[in-house]
Amino acid sequence: MGSDANIAGALTGHRTLTLVGIGLLAGFFSALFGVGGGIVMVPLLITLVAMDAKVATATSLATIIFTSVVGVISHGALGNVEWGYALLIGIPAVLGLLGGLWVKERVSSRQLTLAFAAVLVAVGIWLIVEPGGRSTVPSLHVADAVGVAAIGIVAGLLAGLFGVGGGVLFVPALALIIGLPQVHAEATSLLAIIPVALIGSWRQHQAGMVRWRDAVTMGAASAATAVAGALVADVTPGRTLTILFALLVILTGAQLAARAWREAPR
């Protein structure tokens, strides 16, 4: 009896350490690239913690609330967050997210996912071949606000439909279309992600998919490395940061394509 309890305790301790390790990695990754960190957390939760894929995705989304908040605070202290752009793209993204989730519950298309994966790869290549971005932040005019909000709705829709974090869509939109410097695009993306993560987590919580204890464990661990990620992003040359982010976008597209390819056609 005592032996069984010791084994159970050891397994629990090992699981907690694994979650802490995932959180540390996700925090650095999130603040460095301006994304939630789900692309790191979900595969690791599935392979290292033996978590169901849907539960891993939902728990990762809840963790993103913590990683994004700490990342925003860190980048905000460095003066990298553009608050107006973040609100204009993040709040409409919630509407898009809800729409994407609604469509996803009713339509499942392998071909559509493969097409979106191809678009992500194309965006990644665009980021690489595009000459260096701006070094200054463009002024936000009233006429631009509608376009920024529209980008948010589309990004949220795609995030909800395809199960990818908003950051992988927000950052290219802010950098390529709006013209923010890469580090500002990434920092602003983190703030825009927060409302999306909050609403998405609430929806997943209602479905009973979120493991909150695990999310809090990873989120608490991510706090230390998110600060480090923001500092590294702040001192990394903009072009280098853009290329690294482009590789991340291409990897995300490849990951989506592989997932869709494994699914049976419907």
Q: What pLDDT, in 10s, does the model give residues 5-28?
A: 555 555 567 899 999 999 999 999
Against a cut of 0.75, is the pTM above it? yes
Distance between first and last Cα of the chain: 49
pLDDT for 26-44, tens place per residue?
Answer: 999 999 999 888 888 888 8
Domain that holds residue 101: 2-262
CA pseudo-torsion sign 50, 210, 29, 104: positive
133 CB-near residues (< 8 Å, 6+ apart): 175, 179, 180, 181, 182, 238, 242
CB atoms within 10 A of CB 79: 10
User: For 156-175, what is the mean pLDDT?
Assistant: 80
Q: What is the pLDDT of the chain when averaged over all its residues?
A: 84
Helix H segments across the chain?
A: 2-33, 38-48, 53-77, 83-106, 110-129, 142-162, 167-172, 182-206, 212-235, 238-262
pLDDT for 168-224, tens place per residue?
Answer: 888 888 888 888 889 999 999 999 999 988 988 898 899 898 999 999 999 999 988
Q: What are phi and psi of 27, to 5 degrees?
A: -60, -45
Helical packing angle, 238-262 and 110-129, nearest 10°: 160
Q: What's the pLDDT score for residue 5?
A: 53
Q: What's the pLDDT score for residue 47?
A: 87
Number of domains in the chain: 1
134 by DSSP, 3-state: which? coil
